[in-house]
Amino acid sequence: MDAKLVLEGKEFEFPVLVGTENEVGIDFTKLRPRTGAIGLDPGFGNTGSCRSTITFINGEKGILRYRGYPIEEVAEAATFEEVCYLLIFGHLPTRGELETFSDQLTHHSMIHESLKKFFDDFPPTAHPMMILSAMVASLSAFYTRAGETEDVDLNIIRLLAKAKTIAAYSFKRSVGQPFVYPRNDLSYTENFLHMLFAVPAEPYNVSPVMDRVLNLLLILHADHEQNCSTATVRVVGSSQANLFAAVSAGIAALWGPLHGGANQRVIEMLGMIRDDGKDYKKYVGKAKDKDDDFRLMGFGHRVYKNFDPRATILKKAADELLGELGIDDPLLEIAKHLEEIALEDEYFLERKLYPNVDFYSGILYRAMGLPTDMYTVMFALGRLPGWIAQWKEMREDPRARISRPRQIYTGEAQRPYVPLDLRVESRSTEPELVKV
């Protein structure tokens, strides 16, 4: 099958690719060499940047699958360690493979004592996402063969194992408690909960409910094909920058409120609605008003145009967790009510805006006892296997090239340089005086 393009009266044919699930792509790899034109697609809403075997999404039908397995089944039965293995190595691990993998993840959990000292000098107000990104980039100072092929698998283990320790340490630092070292007798998620919530003076037993919910949260965030942060990891990795550098950039991309940072903003928004007398109409009105920057955080998605299956699972999990922990969180009721109102409103229906993964996740993190600025860190920890799997796939893809988009230039045409003496002042160069 070919696609025909007519440009200035001349006809060009381009090959059409069809994916496993019949999604259709026109291969424009040779568009510019053959036609002289480029494709212009700000935000890449129509651009496929790679072929991938990792994650499938059908946004119209609300389908998400990891390596072919439906998210609902994976979320119900798997552990996060299994999902990491599945995404990174392409198949579900056997018992033996899982044991070896879990053992490696445990035994690489500690971070270098020198890296631990880095935490000391960040200002107390430093956002933990900033700390996570900086610390992950710093791992390449400790593992200098980070770009070497023979060390790739070891560095993947190191990154997965140490990121949770870094995340837990940044939380401990923010609450002014001493760091708690990882334990080798605990699973990945148990170890993380232990490092987050244990205090040296008291014994700490990991609650099975918390462990189950943490597994669920991490699994639901584990991969989501070519989203903003994953695309960033691939772009940075395409220059052959090492794994730690590429993932550190992905963490920075995830931090933004339009992406993973939305989970923190959702809770802040729900709190604002509560404090403002639950004036839902006002906030829905603000979200619809084009002159107002306010958006319903946790609503809308570039790909999902029906429902986000992760949000459906998390809404149910929020009810269960709060019930089991005996927590009555008014923000959960506010979230549900807001969802109901928005989903009856023509504005949201027309634009196919539904709750996304970030809408209910914050309620769960809150019930677990985490402060709002840790929510996106939790997302990052969940997304790690996805970033790693995508980075590895790109590295192993013989078709992969350095990411280098083009542009349509709309600035000034050529003009002669004007020497400084001849330039006309267009605005005052007087510095503004500051009154003390």
Question: Which residues are the active-site residues?
Answer: 301, 358
Asked if residue 310 binds ligand ACO (CB under 6 A), the reply is: no
In eight-state DSSP terms, residue 27 is -
Q: Which of 216, 353, 384, 388 lies at the binding interface for ligand ACO (CB under 6 A)? A: 353
Candidates 46-54, 129-137, 184-192, 292-300; binding stretch for ligand ACO (CB under 6 A): 292-300
Tokens of 215: 């597994």
- What residues between 33 and 92 interact with ligand ACO by CB under 6 A? 43
Asked whether position 381 contacts ligand ACO by CB under 6 A, the answer is no
Question: Least CB distance from residue 359 to ligand ACO, whole Å?
Answer: 7
For ligand ACO, which is the closer residue by CB, 16 or 258? Answer: 258
* Structure tokens belonging to residue 205: 């037993």
In 3D space, the residue among 12, 36, 42 whose CA is nearest the CA of residue 26 turns out to be 12
Nearer to ligand ACO, 260 or 362 (CB): 260
In 19-68, which ranges are E strands? Answer: 24-26, 55-58, 63-66
Span 356-375, contacts to ligand ACO by CB under 6 A: 356-358
Gap between the Cα atoms of 245 and 425, Å rounded: 44
Beta-carbon contacts of 240 under 8 Å, excluding residues fewer than 6 positions away, are 147
Residue 25 DSSP label: E
CB of 95 to ligand ACO, least distance (A): 33
Residue 380 interacts with ligand ACO (CB under 6 A): yes or no? no
Order the strands of the 10-18 sheet from edge to edge: 2-7, 10-18, 24-26
315 touches ligand ACO (CB under 6 A) = no
| Of the residues 88, 180, 262, 334, which one makes contact with ligand ACO according to CB under 6 A | 262
C-alpha closest to that of 375 among 386, 387, 360, 385 = 360
Number of residue whose CB is nearest ligand ACO: 300
Pick the stretch among 96-104, 110-118, 165-173, 348-356 that binds ligand ACO (CB under 6 A): 348-356
Rounded Cα–Cα distance for residues 392 and 397 (Å): 9
Backbone angles phi, psi at 92, to 5 degrees: -70, 135
Q: How far apart are the C-alpha atoms of 265 and 382, rounded to whole Å?
A: 18
- Residue from 28, 255, 299, 360 that binds ligand ACO (CB under 6 A)? 299
Identify which of residues 308 and 393 has a Cβ nearer to ligand ACO in the complex.
Answer: 308
Q: Is residue 339 near ligand ACO by the rule CB under 6 A? A: no
At what angle are helices 188-197 and 80-89 packed, to 10 degrees?
A: 130
User: Shortest approach of ligand ACO to residue 225 CB, angstroms?
Assistant: 12
CB 296 within 8 A of CB 51: no
Give min distance, CB of 347 to ligand ACO, in A. Answer: 7
Stretch binding ligand ACO (CB under 6 A), from 77-85, 167-175, 189-197, 294-302: 294-302
Of 289, 287, 275, which is closest to residue 341 (Cα–Cα)? 287
Q: How do 63-66 and 69-70 pair as beta strands?
A: antiparallel
321 binds ligand ACO (CB under 6 A): no
Q: How many residues bind ligand ACO, per CB under 6 A?
A: 19
The residue range among 87-95, 106-114, 254-262, 393-401 that interacts with ligand ACO, by the rule CB under 6 A, is 254-262
Residue length, the chain? Answer: 436
- Contacts to ligand ACO by CB under 6 A: 43, 258-260, 262, 287, 295-302, 351, 353, 356-358
